[in-house]
Amino acid sequence: MIVGVDEAGRGPVIGPLVVAGVAVESDVPLRQMNCRDSKKLSPEKREALAPEIEKVSQFEVVVIPAEQIDVMRAEMSLNDFEAKLFAEVIAKLRPETAYVDAADVDEIEFKRSVRRELAFDVEIVSQHNADELFPVVSAASILAKVCRDREMRSIEESIGMTIGSGYPSDPDTIAFLEKWIREKGSLPPHTRASWDTARRLLAESKNRKLDDFGSRKP
């Protein structure tokens, strides 16, 4: 059995990190449905492919909320945390070979990091852009992205405001954070407080309030 493991949501300042694993005896069915890197597929195409992938595979999806990410970031690097999560998914699926999208600049080091977390022998193929090279990793990336998109829609509904994709590069996300911080003086739920973007926006808001206070002095 082979397994592909990938994540969605490594970089966002809002929302969870999702890690998915897809296990198959053969990747032929995944090739036939033209599984590709989730970033190269439309949301509609990903949503259509996800249930088809689930029909032909065993799969595991792990959702890590922002609060847990902050806790783990205090203890280890994000690369080490991802290696631990990838290993957790691999351990549940018990393949002979696992293909992983390397989170570390050093593919071999990421492979070692994943292996250290496993209590059984498994061949690990760690490569950058594995989601473009191996259909089984493409399938995992699709499940991870579909799950994260659903989580983000759920968060948006619970907050009742447009929050965007959650990425620091998204103007809607930054506008939402600035408005929330300005009105409430704190970060909104589901925000990764350990992220530089969150810290910077909080600091800028506090500095503006100090400037306003200073300008009002007689």
**Do 21 and 109 fall into the same domain?**
yes
Q: At what angle do helices 135-159 and 43-55 cross, to 10 degrees?
A: 120
Q: Could you say which of 156, 187, 205 is where a domain stops? A: 156
User: With 60 as the cut, is the pLDDT of residue 188 above it?
Assistant: yes
- 155-162 long-range contacts (CB < 8 A, ≥24 apart) are 155/14, 155/15, 155/189, 155/190, 158/189, 159/188, 159/189, 159/190
For the beta carbon of residue 104, count every other beta carbon within 10 angstroms.
Answer: 20
Interval 193-210: pLDDT, tens: 999 999 999 998 877 665
Do residues 49 and 33 lie in contact, with contact meaning Cβ atoms separated by under 8 Å? Answer: yes
| DSSP for residue 163 | -
The tokens of 84 are what?
A: 């631990």
Q: If DSSP codes are grouped into helix, strand and coil, which group holds residue 128?
A: coil
Host H or E run for residue 116: helix 107-116
**Do 38 and 95 fall into the same domain?**
yes
**Do 150 and 168 fall into the same domain?**
no
> Whole-model pTM?
0.91
Question: Which CATH number covers residue 166?
Answer: 1.10.10.460
**Do 172 and 141 fall into the same domain?**
no
User: Position of tokens 């970033």?
Assistant: 39
Question: Which CATH number covers residue 83?
Answer: 3.30.420.10
Domain range enclosing 171? 160-216
> CB burial class (10 A; 0-12, 13-18, 19+) of residue 107?
middle
Interval 101-124: pLDDT, tens: 999 999 999 999 999 999 999 999
Range 156-173 average pLDDT? 96
Q: Could you say which of 129, 156, 183 is where a domain stops? A: 156
pLDDT at site 36: 79
**Do 30 and 66 fall into the same domain?**
yes
**Do 12 and 81 fall into the same domain?**
yes
Interval 77-108: pLDDT, tens: 999 999 999 999 999 999 999 999 999 999 99
The length of the chain in residues reads 218
- Average pLDDT along the chain: 93
Q: Could you say which of 156, 171, 193 is where a domain stops? A: 156
User: Among 205, 190, 194, which residue's Cα sits nearest to residue 16?
Assistant: 190
Interval 37-68: pLDDT, tens: 778 889 999 999 999 999 999 999 999 999 99
**Do 57 and 93 fall into the same domain?**
yes
**Do 115 and 194 fall into the same domain?**
no
**Do 97 and 201 fall into the same domain?**
no
The alpha carbon dihedral of 117, 101, 65, 195 has a sign of positive
**Do 164 and 150 fall into the same domain?**
no
**Do 92 and 195 fall into the same domain?**
no
**Do 119 and 11 fall into the same domain?**
yes
pLDDT at site 35: 87
pLDDT at site 205: 84
Q: How many domains does the chain have?
A: 2
Query: How many whole angstroms separate alpha carbon 198 and alpha carbon 178?
Result: 10
User: With 50 as the cut, is the pLDDT of residue 217 above it?
Assistant: no
Query: How many whole angstroms separate alpha carbon 158 and alpha carbon 206?
Result: 27
pLDDT at site 55: 97
